[in-house]
Amino acid sequence: MVDLDNPDPQERADVIARFREALDKENSDASAYCDDSTLWRFAVARKLDIPKAMEMITGWYKWRQDEKIDNLPLARSDNNLSVPYPIRGYTGLNDANLMPGNGIKDYLLRTNQYFGGGCWHKFDKEGHPVYIERIGRYSAKQIPKHCASSEVLEMHYIFQEFLTQVLLKECSKKAGHEIDKQVVIFDCTGLSLGMLHWPALNMLQELLSSDQLYYPERMYKTYLVNAPSMFVTAWNIVKSWLDPRVISKVTIMNKNFKDALLEQIPAENLPKFLGGECTCSHMPGGCVPCPPIHNYVNLPRSAFSGMPHHAELNFSDTSHVFKFKTPPRDPTVIDAKDTPKSLTNSGPNNSSYIGNFSAKGWLSFGKNQTPTKPRPPPVAICSFEMTSGRGVVVEVRFKPIGTTSSEELLYPETLFDAFRAPVMIEIHLPKDQPEGTLIFTWRVPRFDEGEAPFPTEEESKVPQTLRYSVDMEEKLLHMYDLPNVNRDLNKPKSSQ
């Protein structure tokens, strides 16, 4: 009996040889298209029954040709396409959120508003990529209303191709041997019976069916954590759609999951809200952005058009500095989304701010204006992009007003693939003294930074345009009618 998870190398080679010989006779094009690892995965999916595996793989090959799967836009280190989903901790592509960049269709941005939020977040101890998703935060009833089934399916194919064609190849290179599976963590926090909405469940069933037909044996382990008592009902529905071999790799836990996750994943690679040490504080949304719960400012595509500031960077003028004066502010606040537009006045830097800008502070209240809650720490939002090049490195320092102290580093040097899509970063100002000057410095990456291709001699002579904008978060929330940001979602439950 061949061990399907840890086969003897010779036994594995024998199965592949028999499969290859049979497939050569049945469909030589499909055989030429498949490497040995693909043959092995499909053979395992059919418990080494070669005729059944043949039927499965020929159907898979026809599907790929008919749907032109190989033509899906995938971000790689050697092109300028945007990542289709948030990533953290990979070297071929820099950390990024889903942004309206090259190759990103509008439906991806629209659908992202209703999905719970997910991220490929670093690696486990064996080198597998770790995918984390907040399934308890889905807007289940909104997805079928606003997202066509065909769009959700294409989006899922793009995600799977990005995993298999980009991330797993990087993981294999890093590990020094083939990595062909991922570890999955589903955080069930927020899951309720109200989310068992059949139109959405039908979409889920279609996705699971496609995964098992077209992407078999891509899951190493799956952890469902923070599972509420009602999860039994949901699981009984979902597991009826899954192959027993898939079910055997699923571990379901309520609150006591920390040790199990840390046994598989290094603490520095596991988000704090799941019991690890990572915060990804340099990224909006932290480790796992969550659009439905608003743990970052999710700006629309229009927010990144016409950015007001421009600078030319090249290999002789390699850096650019911009100074932004933060406005004074009152220690109280009213909800930005509920602020009447009549309260918006012109503030510093020719921009509008919520409230009455006066000597009393950034937000002051008249007789009939009563604050509803303490102000959160102030945040500045910087968006930027490059027209070309290998990306850009950004650093942000802060000089408080009226002090002789040295500048404080608020955002250490970080490299972004800003030629793929606009980048947005959050600058958290000191709570006790937020008024002062932010100093932004952008520079061209050194040749030992990043993995984007080096420019030719001619390309290096062409200036690269940096476009950027800087605004206070509260102004943007008001301008685009967005809800307040819930950064508590990024913290461990004990600190919320």
In this structure, what CATH number is given to the domain that contains residue 197? 3.40.525.10
- CB atoms under 10 Å from CB of 125, counted, come to 12
247: pLDDT strictly greater than 60: yes
**Alpha carbon distance 293, 380 (integer Å):** 20
How many CA atoms lie less than 13 Å away from 205 in the CB half-sphere?
14
Is 485 within a domain? no
284 & 310 share domain: no
99 & 50 share domain: no
Cβ(112)–Cβ(86) below 8 Å: no
Please give the average per-residue pLDDT across 242-259, as a whole number. 96
Is 199 within a domain? yes
Structure tokens at 6: 């840890």
430: pLDDT strictly greater than 50: yes
353 & 467 share domain: yes
**Alpha carbon distance 45, 473 (integer Å):** 49
User: What is the separation of C-alpha 335 from the centre of its chain, rounded to a whole number of angstroms?
Assistant: 27
Cβ(89)–Cβ(131) below 8 Å: no
Give the end of a domain, one of 66, 85, 110.
Answer: 66
Residues with Cβ within 8 Å of residue 410, at least 6 apart in sequence: 396, 397, 398, 427, 428, 429, 438
Please give the average per-residue pLDDT across 228-254, as a whole number. 94
- CATH number of the domain within which 55 lies: 1.10.8
Is 1 within a domain? no
178 & 270 share domain: yes
What's the predicted TM-score (pTM) here?
A: 0.89
More confident residue, 338 or 106: 106
Cβ(332)–Cβ(374) below 8 Å: yes
Q: What is the residue-averaged pLDDT of the chain? A: 89
Query: What does the pLDDT look like over 38-58, one tens digit per residue?
Result: 999 999 999 999 999 999 999
Please give the average per-residue pLDDT across 146-150, as a whole number. 95
The whole domain housing 184 covers: 72-293
Give the end of a domain, one of 268, 293, 318.
Answer: 293
**Alpha carbon distance 303, 469 (integer Å):** 10
119 & 190 share domain: yes
**Alpha carbon distance 164, 282 (integer Å):** 27
Strands 182-187 and 219-225: parallel
Say what the pLDDT of residue 317 is.
86
28: pLDDT strictly greater than 80: yes
Say what the pLDDT of residue 404 is.
81
| Count of structural domains within the chain | 3
Please give the average per-residue pLDDT across 224-253, as a whole number. 95
242 & 143 share domain: yes
Query: What does the pLDDT look like over 343-395, one tens digit per residue?
Result: 333 333 434 333 333 333 344 334 444 445 566 679 999 999 999 888 999 99
Please give the average per-residue pLDDT across 128-136, as a whole number. 97
26 & 88 share domain: no
157: pLDDT strictly greater than 50: yes
- CATH number of the domain within which 446 lies: 2.60.120.680
Query: What does the pLDDT look like over 196-223, one tens digit per residue?
Result: 999 999 999 999 999 999 999 999 999 9
Give the end of a domain, one of 262, 293, 324.
Answer: 293
Residues with Cβ within 8 Å of residue 62, at least 6 apart in sequence: none
Q: Percentage of residues in the chain with pLDDT exceeding 90?
A: 78
142 & 225 share domain: yes
53 & 27 share domain: yes
Say what the pLDDT of residue 331 is.
52
How many CA atoms lie less than 13 Å away from 144 in the CB half-sphere?
12
317 & 342 share domain: yes
135 & 174 share domain: yes
Query: What does the pLDDT look like over 301-342, one tens digit per residue?
Result: 999 999 999 999 987 889 999 999 999 876 554 444 444 443
Is 319 within a domain? yes
